[in-house]
Chain A
Amino acid sequence: MRRLALIGAAIALGAGSPVSRGWAQQPEQVARKQVGNAAPDVVLVDQGGRRFALKDLRGRAILVAFIYTSCHHACPLIFDSVSAVKGRIRAEDRQHVAAVFVTVDAEIDTPEVLRAYAQRRGADLANTVFLTGSSEELRHAWEAFGVKVRRLGRGLVDHSPLTFLVDARGIVRYRYYGELLDTEAVVADLRNVLQSTARQRNTDR
């Protein structure tokens, strides 16, 4: 009986998942939207326990994603996707790109927990920031980006799988749905953003 029940659970876990429902086959069509609004003015705490404002990264293109460290579902895939995009950027452009991971679990994800996560996932902290904060600060950040968050239990959080590309001037250029980013499309968007920033720099000189 136990065996049958578990097989049922596994099928259910797979059958209902957006990943297994063809999401991966059509990410370009479903998951990518142009935006064009100013990024919210979010001030949180980084993995080192320091206050960190999103606008501190002005001048860089940033990928902002929402994850939590106890997540066994979408977040590991989101982290892999963002890392894959960063890995596709030319070495000389990497200083102009950063990844920001905002936690959706204020209860567990302290700066210490985020530091351990960064180390376990091999994140390069020269261009990657993990952010946490008080429940109120985080709620403001989630709402400002349109991320719905619902606590289901300790270390179990339901949240919108959203990732944003913000340009060097702090404008949200694209929003991507889903845990599996279309790496090609995001890399192309990121390169376009970097090129337009470089052109702007040359014009300003």
Chain B
Amino acid sequence: MNRSRRRWAAACGAVLALAGPALASGTERVTVRFAGEVGAQWELTPRTPSISVPRGEVFETQVRVRNHSTREMVAMVIKEIRPQEAAGALVHLGCGPTFTLILKPGETAAVPASYFVADDAPLDVAAFDIAYSVYSFEPLSADPLRVGRRIYAERCASCHGSAARGDGTIGRLLAGGVSDLRRALQSNEDRRLLEAIASGAGPMPAFSPALSFDEQQALVLYLRDLVRSEP
């Protein structure tokens, strides 16, 4: 049992009696390289620059985000995998390609992530690159428009798309698709929109347990602004 497998086993306890054997079937090792970036106000550092793993074996890595500024900041981190044409063979054992952190001045947060390289990953791909980058790094603001924008990027854009056209990555895959939110915004008053956000609709979650009423209102405010700027 090598180091990465031990880590997974420690994290998952008895699980790996179930999940372990079927995963560890590859023999060819693959190199996975990690890259971060340094900005004026932040530092994004992978725990290790690279790792060599057998195909099919789950490995855990970690990326650290440090806030160098003197303010409480919201950091949204995204990642990109290359080579892009084989990126599907590097599987992230998780839900969602981005994460958002709220960091106090000088604070560092470590975010773990687990992956495995599929057994049938193209043999000519000997290495993958995972590049983490900061999409946005903004002061934690009480400005409702900024709050609404953050919530939309975090929780809505995956289905509704960046401009609320219903063309988000997940939305396109949902049974029945996702309708153009701009029409709903034009034909409904805020009260109706707030009801839908609070109670959900079909596959759309009910957000009242997760978001405060102020946050729901901020979301509607941002959506109105978005449609005004991108009709």
| Mutual binders A and B | yes
C-alpha spacing A11/B133, complex, angstroms = 13
C-alpha spacing A7/B167, complex, angstroms = 12
Q: Is A137 an interface residue (CB 8 A)?
A: no
> Given that A3-B230, A73-B96 are contacting pairs, would A19 and B206 also be in contact in the complex, using a CB cutoff of 8 Å?
no
Q: Say how far B112's CB is from chain A's closest CB, in angstroms.
A: 7
Q: Is B52 an interface residue (CB 8 A)?
A: no
* Total count of chain A residues near the partner, CB < 8 A: 72
Q: Is B91 an interface residue (CB 8 A)?
A: yes
B15, B97, B119, B154: the one contacting A145 at CB < 8 Å is B15
Tell me which of A11, A73, A77 has the highest count of chain B C-beta atoms within 10 A of its own C-beta. A73
* Total count of chain B residues near the partner, CB < 8 A: 71
Residue numbers in B under 8 Å from A69 (CB-CB): 205-206, 209
Q: Is B135 an interface residue (CB 8 A)?
A: yes
Cβ contact within 8 Å between A77 and B174: yes
Specify the chain B residue showing the minimal Cβ separation from A122.
B202
C-alpha spacing A72/B112, complex, angstroms = 21
Residue numbers in B under 8 Å from A33 (CB-CB): 22-23
Cβ contact within 8 Å between B206 and A120: yes
One digit per residue, 1 when the CB lies within 8 angstroms of any chain B CB and 0 when it does not, for chain A 7-31 equals 1111111111111111111100110
Cβ contact within 8 Å between A6 and B18: no
C-alpha spacing A143/B15, complex, angstroms = 6
The segment from A49-57, A153-161, A197-205 found at the interface with B is A153-161
One digit per residue, 1 when the CB lies within 8 angstroms of any chain B CB and 0 when it does not, for chain A 33-52 equals 11101001000000000000
Cβ contact within 8 Å between A10 and B168: yes
Residue numbers in A under 8 Å from B119 (CB-CB): 30
> Given that A30-B91, A146-B12 are contacting pairs, would A19 and B207 also be in contact in the complex, using a CB cutoff of 8 Å?
no
> Given that A69-B205, A77-B174 are contacting pairs, would A152 and B210 also be in contact in the complex, using a CB cutoff of 8 Å?
no
B: which residues have CB within 8 A of A? 11-19, 22-23, 76, 78-81, 84-85, 87-89, 91-100, 112-114, 118-120, 135-136, 149, 153-159, 161-163, 168-170, 173-175, 199-207, 209-211, 226, 229-230
Known: A9-B157, A13-B168, A71-B95. 15 other contacts (CB 8 A): A2-B149, A12-B135, A16-B80, A29-B118, A72-B159, A72-B170, A76-B159, A116-B199, A148-B94, A152-B100, A153-B100, A154-B211, A158-B113, A160-B114, A175-B18
